[in-house]
């Protein structure tokens, strides 16, 4: 053991680096060994028979006060999960609000002794599922701290890594008594087809009042749930869904409650009123609500808040029913009219009791149904409605409004913690559809504008801590709001232009280039008309559009925009202002991508001198240019100088921004790529793995920065002769770029590099036919983007000629 004076000691750094590399190399073998030793210890301590048990908990769901009826369905579900020794899958499907989730909860409470571990997962979308697996991983690790694979996955915080770690635990031999619940899997995609029923409820959501925009449809993207199943054929699975799914399990259709006494019992338990069976009005209400548990529970929750009699409620229900019949005689099914009528009564009571709560329900139609939180609604920059200002004046006022909505059974508290910011609130799908199609039958442009402003003002700048996490939390709300803006906001005023600019920056940071460009174009149009083409804000948008164009290989457009922005900034702000220096740096990036290295170097030097003088050598802006100079040297083959620049940038960023900041990870990725080119594979793998874990956590698996790192790992594997692994990485990166850019992918430089890499790999494997396809596609793109004089084009052209010559020889 050696003690060093400080962490800055050169010998300390050297040894620390070697230890990190050893840890990176260890991988699965070391983890497996540690887990085997832990199991031996468990066996010695006599706990081997309990190594797969988890405490029973329903903290992720909202449980009904009292579950009523469904004895036959409970028995059917029990039999369906006990018919074989292999994996057992039961699918509960039926109308929204029919009680699928509550039946599942009742089953778990009745039969939990049959299972060693019960894991509840929200299957609304893939992101929600990944969050559920993360919660499960923490529970598993809490019970079994020696599980290194789970701990490593959680430390990395990469969603798919956590999913795979939990699946491996469920796949363990002997771990065959677990039960997974996939709740609310309403957008299934099995094979190549989306299998959702065209029920009256779903048809309603496509009416004029509640039509799904492309953005909203994307938020409800269909996916194959089987990708989240453990690989081994053991354990049990319950899926709740509104869709009819065939071929993966025992399907159980949940019908309305047919026994009148069950409906009366729900009314009694939720209203806390007795003797309902002897009240003719209560019996008639139960009959009218037609065995719909959600409608019965809503009616009971209302009556628990007021002194109205059953007769009075029945009269209000009839009035509400007739009102809906007149306003939407064709669109509403009987079941949904019953649900909507009960919510209408509750809404009118809320309107009298807490008007702000009623108004919030109307406003919620312009947000996503999940995760509405206090800070999101704290829009304070200009006049807002009085009710809204009073509601968000402090947390106490906001929570009081939400308490009223929760008391009436319309809103639920979210289960996810968000650090310094508040936990969110959510509503049932059916309730959100009612908000859209009934409370906002005539869409309200003012409400849509307020929602837009709330989201826009919450979008953080890239100099705020963990800004990418807040951005990802906002994305679903942004998609809904953006669709409303395009439909409802006709006049492009300054507020609309500001909103578009903020949304454009959000989408650009999240790799959503097409959406970003649409928003920025609209913002530019507005600001040019209102403030003029030379205004600073107008120039900011021009700079943002130039960055987008450069990232898509549209270099001519990008250069023209950078020139315009630079001339404007120099005229208005002067040559040494930060905005001017930013554009100079961005122009350097553009020249570097085009192979115009001398021009790039001149731009970087000018920007560096300006930032170092005004901000200092350790500021992020200065370090970004040091990073860019490193990239320039690397592209020019000056590897030793490139490494010095990257090392300096990395040390500075780790100190100023932290180890997990995405700017830090960008430098980590580039340093790993440099090591690959130098044949320093162990160092390269450590860097690339660190970058990938951090980027997947911060930006998601499909962000272009993440895909760039995936490609670099493919290069590393190819250099090591791990051809299958390399191909898998290249394919993942290329598919990701195709998803992001669509048809424009063939002129996206990073995608072209991947095509060239795939061609190189095919040559190494002797598959000249595939190599020809990859090279030909890459060559067309390089010619379009760079021209025939570019070295990249000439290199691929030479490779394509050689491959075709080999094919001719073979034939």
Enclosing domain of residue 756: 748-811
Predicted pLDDT at 654: 94
Average pLDDT, integer, range 326-352: 72
657 burial (CB, 10 Å; 0-12 / 13-18 / 19+) is: middle
Residue 489 · residue 496 · CB < 8 Å: yes
In three-state secondary structure terms, 252 is strand
Do residues 107 and 183 make contact, with C-beta atoms less than 8 angstroms apart?
A: no
Report the pLDDT value the prediction gives residue 80, as an integer from 0 to 100: 80
DSSP states along 350-408: HHHH-HHHHHHHHHHTTS-SS-B-TGGG---SS---HHHHHHTSSHHHHHHHHHHHHHT
702 belongs to a structural domain: no
State yes or no: pLDDT of 641 exceeds 90. yes
Assess whether 177 and 82 both reside in one domain.
yes
For residue 488, the model assigns a pLDDT of 64
Q: What is the DSSP string of 425-464?
A: EE--HHHHHHIIIIITSS--HHHHHHHHHHHHHHPPPTTS
Rounded CA Rg of the chain: 30
285-289, 489-493, 624-628: which is most confident: 624-628
Mean pLDDT of the 521-545 span: 95
Nearest to 93 by CA among 180, 179, 186, 221: 186
Same domain, 228 and 80: yes
Provide the angle, in degrees to the nearest 10, between the axes of the packed helices 159-171 and 126-143.
60
Q: Please spell the DSSP secondary structure of 60-125, one letter per residue.
A: TSPPPSS----HHHHHHHHHHTSS-SS-EEEEEE--TTSSHHHHHHHHHHHHGGG-SEEEEEE-SS
Global pTM value: 0.65
| pLDDT on residue 415 | 66
Task: Report the candidate in 694, 613, 601 with the shortest Cα–Cα distance to residue 653.
Answer: 694
pLDDT of 23 strictly over 60 = no
- pLDDT recorded at residue 420: 65
CA–CA gap between residue 92 and residue 102 (Å, rounded): 11
Can you read off the two tokens belonging to residue 151? Answer: 């701990």
Structure-derived torsion over alpha carbons of residues 719, 721, 724, 727, reported in degrees to the nearest 10: 20
Residues 407 and 421 in one domain: yes
Are residues 233 and 105 both part of a single domain? yes
What's the pLDDT tens digit per position in 715-744? Answer: 999 999 999 999 999 999 998 888 877 777
Whether residue 287 is found in the same domain as residue 310: yes
- pLDDT, tens digit (0-9, with 9 covering 90-100), for 24-67: 444 444 444 444 444 444 433 333 444 788 888 877 766 655 56
Q: Which two tokens stand for residue 179?
A: 């039960």
CATH number at residue 804: 1.25.40
* pLDDT score of 365 more than 70: yes
- Is pLDDT at 195 greater than 60 in this prediction? no
Query: How high is the pLDDT of residue 267?
Result: 81
- The whole-number pLDDT of residue 485 equals 80
- Asked whether residue 167 falls in the same domain as residue 283, the answer is no
User: Which among 408, 424, 458 is the end of a domain?
Assistant: 458
Q: How many domains does the chain have?
A: 5
Q: Tell me, what's the pLDDT at 68?
A: 63
Q: Is 632 a member of any domain?
A: no
Worst-scoring range by mean pLDDT, 7-16, 51-60, 670-679?
7-16
| 264: DSSP letter | H
**The domain spanning residue 162 has which CATH number?**
3.40.50.300
pLDDT at 21 (0 to 100): 42
DSSP label at residue 188: B
**Rounded average pLDDT over 533-559:** 93
Inside any domain, residue 482: no
- SS3 at position 189: strand
**Mean pLDDT (whole number) for 519-525:** 94
- In Å, how far are 60, 418, 432, 635 from 128, measured between CA atoms? 12, 14, 18, 40
Enter the tokens of residue 394.
């402090």
Q: Cβ of 490: how many Cβ atoms within 10 Å?
A: 8
Same domain? For 338 and 380 the reply is no
> Do 236 and 273 fall within a single domain?
no
Res. 542 pLDDT band, cuts 50 70 90:
very high
The yes-or-no verdict on residue 86 having pLDDT over 70 is no
Least confident of 33-37, 135-139, 273-277, 588-592: 33-37
Question: Over 90: is that where the pLDDT of 494 sits?
Answer: no
Does 245 share its domain with 386? no
- Residue 737 included in any domain: no
Nearest-angstrom CA–CA distance, 75 and 106? 11
Would you say 573 and 536 are in contact if contact means Cβ atoms under 8 Å apart? Answer: yes
What integer pLDDT is reported at residue 25 of this predicted model?
44
Q: Taking a C-beta distance cutoff of 8 angstroms, is the pair 285, 309 a contact?
A: no
Q: How far apart are CA 26 and CA 634, in angstroms?
A: 29
The C-alpha atoms of residue 606 and residue 207 are separated, in whole angstroms, by 57
SS3 call for 413: strand
Which carries the bigger pLDDT value, residue 468 or residue 703? 703
Quote the pLDDT of residue 563. Answer: 97
User: Are residue 243 and residue 124 in the same domain, yes or no?
Assistant: yes
Average the pLDDT over 637-645 and give the result: 93
DSSP conformation letters of 791-810: HHHHHHHHHHHHHHHHHHHH
Are 146 and 14 members of one domain?
Answer: no
For the chain, the farthest-separated pair of C-alpha atoms sits apart, in whole angstroms, at 94
Does residue 606 carry a pLDDT above 90? yes
Tell me: do 248 and 178 sit in the same domain: yes
Residue 100, pLDDT score: 85
In a domain? residue 119: yes
Q: Average per-residue pLDDT in the chain?
A: 82
Domain end: 458, 492, 513, which one?
458
Does 736 fall in a domain? no
Token look-up 């930013």 returns 582
Contact, 700 vs 127, CB < 8 A?
no
Question: How far apart, in whole angstroms, are the C-alpha atoms of residue 591 and residue 758?
Answer: 26
Phi-psi region of 587 (alpha: psi -120 to 50; beta: other; left: phi over 0): alpha
- pLDDT in the model for residue 45: 39
Last residue of a domain, one of 235, 253, 271: 253
Given a cut of 90, whether residue 649 has pLDDT beyond it is yes
Average pLDDT over residues 576-590: 95
For residue range 151-184, list pLDDT tens digits in order. Answer: 888 877 677 888 999 999 999 888 988 999 999 8
Q: How confident is the model at residue 608, as a pLDDT?
A: 95
Contact 672, 684 (CB under 8 A): yes
| Summary count for the chain: helices (H), strands (E) | 34, 9
The reply to whether 587 falls in a domain is no
Query: For the residues 396-403, what does the mean pLDDT come to?
Result: 92
Cα separations in angstroms, 101 against 96, 187, 444, 617? 10, 16, 33, 57
pLDDT in tens, 97-141: 777 888 888 888 888 889 999 999 988 888 888 888 988 998 998
Residue pLDDT, tens place only, 207-253: 333 334 443 444 457 888 898 999 888 889 999 987 777 778 888 88
In a domain, 329, yes or no: yes
Q: CA–CA distance from 217 to each of 68, 187, 453, 507, 514 (Å)?
A: 35, 10, 22, 17, 16
Provide the CATH number for the domain around residue 362: 1.10.10
User: What is the reported pLDDT for 292?
Assistant: 77
3-state secondary structure 460-480: CCCCCCCHHHHHHHHHHHHHH
What pLDDT score was predicted for residue 9? 57
What DSSP line would sit under 197-244, residue for residue? ---HHHHHTTSGGGPPPHHHHHHT--B-GGGGS-SSS-SEEEEEESS-
Q: What value does the mean pLDDT take over residues 657-670?
A: 92
Lowest mean pLDDT among 54-63, 392-401, 688-697: 54-63
Q: What is the pLDDT of residue 38?
A: 46
- The pLDDT tens digits for 734-789 are 988 888 777 778 888 888 999 999 999 999 999 999 999 999 999 998 888 777 88
């Amino acid at each position: 053991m050696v003690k060093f004076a400080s962490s800055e000691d050169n010998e300390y750094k050297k040894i620390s680096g070697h230890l990190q590399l050893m840890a990176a190399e260890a991988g699965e073998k070391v983890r497996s060994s540690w887990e085997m030793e832990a199991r031996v210890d468990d066996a010695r301590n006599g706990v081997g028979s309990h190594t797969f048990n988890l405490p029973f908990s329903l903290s992720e769901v909202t449980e009904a006060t009292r579950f009523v009826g469904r004895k036959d369905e409970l028995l059917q579900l029990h039999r369906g999960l006990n018919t074989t020794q292999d994996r057992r899958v039961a699918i509960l499907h039926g109308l929204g609000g029919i009680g699928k989730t509550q039946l599942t909860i009742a089953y778990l409470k009745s039969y939990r002794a049959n299972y060693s571990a019960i894991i509840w997962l929200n299957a609304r979308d893939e992101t929600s599922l990944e969050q559920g697996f993360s919660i499960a991983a923490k529970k598993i690790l809490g019970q079994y701290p020696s599980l290194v694979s789970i701990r490593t996955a959680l430390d990395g915080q990469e969603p798919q890594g956590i999913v795979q770690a939990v699946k491996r635990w469920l796949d363990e031999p002997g771990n065959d008594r677990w039960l997974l619940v996939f709740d609310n899997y309403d957008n299934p995609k099995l094979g190549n087809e989306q299998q959702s029923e065209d029920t009256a409820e779903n048809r309603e959501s496509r009416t004029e009042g509640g039509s799904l925009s492309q953005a909203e449809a994307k938020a409800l993207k269909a996916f194959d749930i089987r990708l989240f199943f453990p690989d081994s054929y053991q354990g049990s699975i319950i899926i709740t869904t509104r869709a009819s799914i065939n071929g993966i399990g025992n399907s159980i259709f949940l019908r309305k409650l047919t026994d009148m006494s069950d409906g009366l019992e729900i009314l009694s338990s939720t209203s806390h009123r007795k003797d309902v069976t002897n009240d003719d009005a209560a019996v008639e209400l139960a009959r009218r609500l037609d065995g719909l548990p959600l409608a019965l529970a809503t009616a009971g929750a209302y009556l628990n808040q007021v002194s109205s009699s059953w007769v009075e409620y029945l009269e209000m229900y009839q009035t509400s029913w007739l009102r809906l019949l007149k306003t939407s005689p064709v669109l509403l099914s009987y079941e949904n009219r019953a649900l909507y009528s009960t919510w209408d009564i509750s809404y009118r009571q809320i309107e009298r009791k807490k008007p702000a709560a009623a108004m919030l329900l109307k406003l919620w139609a312009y947000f996503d149904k999940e995760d509405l939180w206090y800070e999101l609604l704290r829009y304070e920059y200009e006049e807002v409605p009085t009710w809204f200002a009073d509601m968000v004046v402090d947390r106490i006022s906001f929570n009081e409004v939400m308490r009223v909505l929760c008391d009436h059974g319309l809103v639920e508290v979210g289960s996810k913690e968000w650090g310094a910011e508040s936990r969110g609130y959510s509503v049932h799908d059916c309730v959100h559809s009612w908000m859209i199609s009934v409370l906002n039958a005539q869409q309200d442009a003012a409400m849509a504008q307020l929602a837009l402003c709330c989201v826009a003002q919450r979008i953080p700048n890239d100099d705020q801590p963990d800004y990418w996490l807040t951005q990802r939390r906002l994305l679903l709300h942004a998609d809904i709001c953006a669709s409303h803006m395009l439909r409802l906001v006709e006049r492009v005023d300054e507020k609309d232009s500001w909103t578009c600019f903020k949304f454009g920056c959000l989408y650009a940071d999240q790799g959503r280039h097409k959406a970003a460009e649409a928003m920025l174009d609209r913002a530019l149009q507005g600001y040019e008309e209102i403030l003029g083409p030379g205004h600073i804000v107008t120039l900011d948008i021009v700079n943002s559009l130039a960055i987008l164009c450069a990232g898509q290989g549209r270099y001519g457009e990008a250069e023209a925009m950078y020139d315009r922005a630079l001339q404007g900034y120099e005229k208005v702000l002067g040559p040494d202002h930060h905005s001017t220096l930013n554009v100079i740096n961005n122009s350097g990036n553009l020249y570097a991508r085009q192979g115009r290295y001398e021009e790039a170097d001149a731009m970087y030097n000018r920007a560096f001198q300006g930032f170092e003088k005004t901000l200092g050598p350790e500021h992020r802006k200065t370090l970004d240019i040091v990073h860019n100079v490193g990239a320039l040297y690397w592209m020019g083959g000056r590897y030793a100088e490139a490494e010095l620049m990257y090392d300096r940038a990395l040390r500075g960023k780790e100190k100023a921004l932290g180890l997990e900041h995405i700017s830090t990870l960008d430098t980590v990725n580039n340093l790993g790529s440099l090591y690959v080119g130098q044949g320093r594979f162990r160092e390269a793998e450590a860097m690339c793995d660190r970058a990938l874990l951090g980027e997947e956590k911060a930006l998601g698996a499909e962000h272009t920065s993440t895909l760039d790192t995936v490609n670099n790992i493919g290069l590393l594997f190819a250099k090591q002769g791990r051809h299958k692994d390399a191909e898998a990485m290249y394919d993942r990166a290329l598919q990701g770029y195709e998803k992001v850019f669509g048809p424009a992918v063939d002129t996206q430089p990073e995608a072209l590099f991947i095509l060239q890499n795939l061609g190189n790999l095919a040559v190494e494997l002797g598959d000249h036919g595939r190599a020809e396809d990859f090279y030909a596609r890459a060559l067309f793109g390089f010619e379009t983007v760079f021209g025939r004089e570019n070295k990249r084009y000439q290199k691929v052209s030479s490779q394509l000629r050689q491959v075709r010559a080999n094919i001719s020889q073979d034939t």
